[in-house]
Structure 1
């Protein structure tokens, strides 16, 4: 029977010797050979790289395709690049080491915060922990800062059971086959740090398709699910202002209706702003709106006088008139003539009130302080510190750029005036708050608190004049025991002294009845049954006078101290700051000042070096005479003020080490010179001590009189 033989169609060499086979069959050679040889009834394959399945016949194409699939060899490279997918439901909680499944209400809260339930399609190519972790971080961005995480599954009674982590970490193949989760929820538990639930600061918001809406009050784009909360915060001031405008409009209409026809008066709604740098209106830093009747015949100067009389807080400080525009932004009036008739005729105000914004951040009527801040924004070269220009009462200024000296001088003068301001009472080194209705209405407590914070942070100047009680009120330390001696008011102190010194119950009753009206206002009026009741009356009165009545003023004062984060640091470290606020500073001595400066000397052996050594001796002798009080109108602190602008060495020291330089005396230049910015003192080279002492005393004594030195 003839043998049927298939020869690959693309073979190059054929050596065939037909030989009959014992049985008729079809022979297939599954090799990579491209050269076949039939010899002696056998088939020999010569191995050569070619088509893997070139032995297959052309005719049966379906059989050829099937066999190619069946006999295709394993390809490791192709299998490793294959992607596996796995669907899994996760629930990320915010509490570390959580052991209970969250309730439904908590799940909703977690979802709003960008956590909670999510159904994720996990894609695995490499099957590593990093691959799984990155996909979780993409779904839960807050998990990045959790300090690691673990997986748990739900058990009985809402408890969570650990899913043991392999040594190579969680992987997608592990979750699919070995974790026994199946369709259960995988709970993600942070390990080291709790995740924030404040959805307003979520980084995930940038990656999600969040529906947003524009706030009509501030034009900000806000996520829709947060819009109601945003309106409550942003729109509160606008609604408050609109209600004030509405009530003022009604009041204005009533004034117009009650005023005689043809009157030349104009009911003008006015708001005084206390912050000179305010650009967006904030009701917390402004007085309540008033309606002022102004005459339309007033000129510019008369109109300013009316406004200053209505708002004594302005004093003699310059101010600008503004209107309230869109988004509660303040815009200065553009009309060239600032008179009531011109403002009304221009129609620029519209429905807005007239807003008065001072152009100086400190003014106190007849205060002798000559320093005011002129720069609304710090200069970049001063590294975030305010730029200050010193101005005298006649308007002359120091022609210099502030590199530290003018700022120290301003803050020193400012702190000195604050110590003696009307919101404090008591001994000079132990001041307490006093209740002043005008200062409370004008926000002066808040303003002075801000000034002290700036002086402390920017200038490093300790306060030193707070009483122990005032410091405990702002720092949270326990208040000291109430004492009658702490009451500054003479009349009240006399009443309490008489009651506390009463030796019998009858005498105490008589004193209480004599002061019944005052004690009734304090809430301390009580019938005396024994001497213990006498002490109770005194303690209640002291608590009211020293604590309770000052609550609103103290709150406003603490709001000011929050500036630059000072109050937060004080409350966190009350003991560390106590000395800087309450204890009087140690007196500055001649030795302290002499050791503070480092002299710049000429080479040893030179004639100039000899004069410099002589001048240094004169300098130290003169400081000793100043300390002993032998120099009229000059103290050791005045010498430091002359050199640096500060009467005390700042808490953090000077930015540069103080230096002592020398110069030769000439007819036009024989007085010492100082650079307060670099804290450099230049001494004249006098060989005679009397001449040196006269020059130093004249320069230091006259340096505090600006325009005359």
Structure 2
């Protein structure tokens, strides 16, 4: 049910989605229904909707949008993302051909290549601000069982129910480097694997988010008390040169330290999602004791 709601009513990159812009669905009250279904799912121990973007969840908490926290990556609508790409790659002549689309996004300045940055900014704000009615209706639905009140009172505690990876610290290489992109891919692989595993969370050998957390940190839940939660984080590091540690080899596995709440990923052996999944699952299933796999 939750997966169907995500596909039907939300759009954007995995785990960073925003409501789909649809005045038809809004007029029919469907986003209120979506909120009610999500509230029932959580109240009955069902799947958590961990596909919300950070800004959308923040709006559910406080009803405000902070423009300083928004950038072009916040835009989930495929047509507006395409418009941003067209603006950024445009020439003076081709930009004039986008005049109508740009004006429809609320930009009132001069349309020229010198103003590409404010044009993109206007498109970004337009993409986000027009979703407020859908989010407001979603909040109404989340009032079922008092869920929205809990979200407002305890936003940090409730965040893992809506935003995946809120308590993970990544030690990434410098932006713009090839290492940085590879490391971002691995972080996304972790999120994809945990999201995928929710469909088989009752399997005896499945790697659920709770079991994954237990493996890395020694406890199967995020602390609830703010005093404990503020110091809790899973640390993800990356080993780009495992040959230096093990010499020539065909396979090696992540190194987990539950005391330090740290996992070190062997980048060389996890270049694709299928490789990542195979290596991580083998390490998870074979490395539950205090020894080397």
TM-score, structure 2 length as denominator?
A: 0.52
1:648 deviation in Å?
Answer: 6.3
Q: Which runs of 5+ in 2 are unaligned?
A: 168-196, 212-219, 222-293
Query: What is aligned with 1:638?
Result: 200
* Structure 1 residue aligned with 2:162: 581
Counterpart CA distance in 2 for 1:562 and 1:456 is 12
Query: Does structure 1 conserve the Cα–Cα contact (< 8 Å) formed by 2:18 and 2:76?
Result: no
Contact 1:453–1:563 (CA under 8 A) maintained in structure 2 = yes
Partner of 1:540: 122
Q: Find the partner of 1:447 among 33, 46, 62.
A: 33
User: Which one of the candidate residues 449, 456, 467 is aligned to 2:42?
Assistant: 456
Counting only pairs closer than 5 Å after superposition, residues 27-42 of structure 1 correspond to structure 2 as none
Task: Give 1:557 deviation, angstroms.
Answer: 1.0
- Pairing 1:198-277 to 2, within 5 Å after superposition: none
Per-residue deviation, 1:427: 2.3
Q: What's 2:55 paired with?
A: 469
* Partners of 1:430 and 1:467 within 8 A in 2: yes
From 121, 127, 139, the equivalent of 1:558 is 139
Which residue in the other structure is 1:571 paired with? 152
Contact 2:53 2:163 in 1 (8 A): yes
Query: Per-residue deviation at 1:539?
Result: 0.9
Which structure carries more strand by proportion? 1
CA contact (8 A) 2:84 2:120 kept: yes
1:527 paired residue among 110, 117, 124? 110
How far apart are 1:464 and its partner, in Å?
Answer: 1.4
**Alignment match of 1:515 (pick from 86, 92, 98):** 98
Give how far 1:461 is off: 4.4
Specify the alignment match of 1:49 in structure 2: none
Equivalence for 2:21: 435
Greater fraction helix: 2
- Whether 2:80 is the aligned partner of 1:499: answer no
The equivalent position to 2:5 in structure 1, one of 408, 415, 418, is 418
1:354-369 matched pairs, under 5 angstroms: none
**Equivalent pair of 2:159/2:166 in contact (CA under 8 Å):** no
For the structure 1 residues 455 and 481, does the alpha-carbon distance in structure 2 shift closer, same or farther, using more than 3 Å as the test?
same
CA distance in structure 2 between the partners assigned to 1:513 and 1:520 by the alignment: 11
My pick for the range that moved more, 555-564 or 481-490, is 481-490
Give yes or no for contact 1:424–1:434 (8 Å, CA) kept in 2: yes
Map Cα deviations across residues 75-106 of structure 1 (whole Å, 9 max, x no partner): xxxxxxxxxxxxxxxxxxxxxxxxxxxxxxxx
State the number of aligned residues.
Answer: 183
- 1:525 to partner: Cα distance: 4.2
The equivalences for 1:82-161 within 5 A come to: none
Q: Helix, strand or coil: the match of 2:44?
A: helix
- Partner Cα distance (1:510, 1:527) in 2: 14
The 5 A counterparts of 1:339-358 are: none
CA shift in 2, pair 1:638/1:576, >3 Å: closer
CA distance, structure 1, for counterparts of residue 157 and residue 94 of structure 2: 44
Separation of aligned partners in 1, 2:112 and 2:209 = 55
Q: How does 1:580-619 map to 2 (within 5 A)?
A: 580-584=161-165
Structure 1 position 585, deviation (Å): 9.5
User: Do the aligned partners of residues 481 and 511 (structure 1) sit closer, same or farther apart at CA in structure 2, a change above 3 Å counting?
Assistant: farther
Conserved 8 A contact 1:558-1:567: yes
Q: List per-residue Cα deviations over 1:330-361 (Å, max 9, x = no partner).
A: xxxxxxxxxxxxxxxxxxxxxxxxxxxxxxxx
- Partner secondary structure for residue 640 of structure 1: coil
- Partner deviation per Cα, 1:260-300 (whole Å, 9 max, x = no partner): xxxxxxxxxxxxxxxxxxxxxxxxxxxxxxxxxxxxxxxxx
After superposition, the CA RMSD in angstroms is: 3.6
> Which residue in 2 is equivalent to 1:95?
none
Deviation at residue 519 of structure 1 after TM alignment:
1.6
Residue 511 and residue 562 in structure 1: after superposition, are their counterparts in 2 closer, same or farther (change >3 A)? farther
Determine helix, strand or coil for the equivalent of 1:459. Answer: coil
User: Could you say if the C-alpha distance between residues 562 and 486 of structure 1 is closer, same or farther in structure 2, counting changes exceeding 3 Å?
Assistant: same
Give the Cα separation in 2 of the matches to 1:485 and 1:454.
Answer: 31
Trace 1:367-378 onto structure 2 (pairs within 5 A).
none
Q: Determine if contact 2:17/2:52 at 8 Å carries over to the other structure.
A: yes
TM-score (norm 1): 0.23
Counterpart selection for 1:483 from 71, 74, 84: 71
Deviation at 1:542, TM superposition (A): 1.0
